[in-house]
């Protein structure tokens, strides 16, 4: 039995200034959307970024998240909302599920975050800062 796994990753920082952009990569749509939680980013010179850019982030996620068999058999679909902090050192910390789908899917997402390499930190006034990121991942059968 073939199951088609489509992971649509909506990756966005808390302050996207109302922009919406869709990128196609390996047959998947990745949508950058504004968050409903405002963040004062006046003076922010640079947002945090996965080293290697968006395409490398997509590859990392594709290698590190699998659709759990139980979630497939239970026909569970929807979005998991993750949040984490990119520290001024680039370390990804304080992983948290803001909205989960199932224990199995939530665990997959947290394990992926636990394995995530360092990012390039956000910059204000030429100094790296800690920055919270909201990271929704949509699982669709």
* pLDDT tens sequence across 72-131: 899 998 888 888 888 999 999 999 999 999 999 999 999 999 999 999 998 888 999 888
Number of H helices, E strands in the chain: 3, 12
Q: For the packed helices 54-64 and 103-115, what is the interaxial angle rounded to 10 degrees?
A: 130
When the pLDDT of each residue in the chain is averaged and rounded to a whole number, the result is 74
What is the reported pLDDT for 58?
82
Among 48, 57, 1, 69, which Cα is nearest to 28's? 57
Q: How far apart are CA 70 and CA 76, in angstroms?
A: 9
Q: What is the pTM of this model?
A: 0.70
Burial group, residue 60, by CB count within 10 angstroms (0-12, 13-18, 19+): middle
Q: How far apart are CA 17 and CA 4, in angstroms?
A: 34
Residue 137 pLDDT grade (very low, low, confident, very high; cuts 50, 70, 90):
confident
What SS3 class is residue 20? coil
């Amino acid at each position: 039995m073939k199951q088609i796994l489509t992971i649509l990753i909506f990756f966005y920082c808390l302050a996207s200034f109302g922009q919406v952009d869709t990128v196609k990569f390996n047959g998947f749509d990745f949508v950058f959307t504004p968050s409903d939680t405002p963040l004062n980013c006046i003076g922010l010179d640079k947002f945090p970024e996965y080293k290697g850019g968006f395409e490398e982030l997509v590859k990392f996620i594709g290698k590190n998240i699998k659709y759990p068999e139980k979630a497939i058999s239970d026909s569970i679909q929807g979005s998991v909302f993750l949040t984490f902090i990119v520290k001024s050192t680039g370390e990804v910390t304080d992983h948290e599920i803001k909205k989960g789908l199932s224990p199995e899917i939530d665990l997959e997402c947290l394990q992926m975050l636990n394995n995530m390499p360092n990012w390039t930190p956000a910059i204000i006034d030429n100094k790296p800062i800690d920055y919270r990121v909201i990271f929704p991942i949509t699982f669709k059968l």
